[in-house]
């Protein structure tokens, strides 16, 4: 099924001043940097997008940990990682991830660097969380891709937590030991660190 019209309509809704949305399908430096689409807007604004699509709705976001790895299906562990997955890869240069789930009629637009930093920070705890599905291994010719399924509410909280960190100029004689977090309801709380 061709989703090009759906992608274009989505981008026009997000950016009403859209001049063009250019799909990059051929092997190029853009593609190797994780860019599937250029969004061109007035005033020379170009936004780069990595597009992912998951046809069925599994009520989660599939985040790729390893793009190329050796995977032991008996122990369900990665024995050797050769190439980081798109959600972990430091060489990716796109501005946003557009993650479409046609069956749910949704597309999530997530700042890519924020998603990558969130993945680095939370992956270990997500792997141990019963609400996440790990590992999801896809066998290909000669290699395996390994991903984790993270439910959107959990990912949203983690993204929000990654966006907010304690910040304060240290004043003489003032205690600076505090930490902030955002709970599942979006409420920010501060905790004193002893």
What confidence score (pLDDT) does residue 125 get?
97
Contact call for residues 150 and 165 (beta carbons, < 8 A): no
Phi, psi torsion values for 184, nearest 5 degrees: -60, -20
Q: Where are the alpha helices (DSSP H) in 61-169?
A: 112-127, 152-163
In this prediction, residue 174 carries a pLDDT of 67
Strands 178-182 and 188-192: antiparallel
- Say whether pLDDT at 186 is over 80: no
Reported pTM: 0.83
CA angle 133–137–141, rounded 5-degree value: 165
């Amino acid at each position: 099924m061709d989703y090009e019209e759906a992608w274009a309509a989505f981008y026009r809704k997000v950016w009403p001043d859209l001049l063009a949305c250019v799909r990059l399908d051929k092997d190029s430096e853009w593609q190797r940097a994780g860019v599937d689409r250029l969004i061109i807007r007035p005033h020379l604004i170009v936004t780069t997008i990595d597009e992912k699509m998951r046809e069925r709705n599994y009520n989660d976001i599939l985040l790729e940990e390893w793009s190329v790895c050796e995977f032991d299906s008996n122990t369900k562990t990665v024995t050797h990682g050769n190439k980081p997955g798109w959600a972990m890869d430091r060489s990716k240069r796109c501005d946003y991830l557009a993650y479409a789930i046609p069956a749910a009629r949704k597309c999530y637009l997530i700042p890519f660097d924020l998603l990558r930093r969130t993945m680095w920070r939370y992956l270990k705890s997500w792997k141990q969380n019963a609400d996440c599905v790990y590992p999801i291994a896809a066998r290909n010719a000669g290699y395996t891709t390994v991903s984790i399924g993270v439910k959107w509410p959990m990912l949203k909280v983690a993204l929000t937590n990654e966006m907010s960190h304690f910040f304060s100029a240290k004043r003489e004689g003032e205690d600076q030991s505090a930490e902030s977090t955002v709970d599942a309801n979006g409420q920010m709380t501060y905790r004193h660190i002893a």
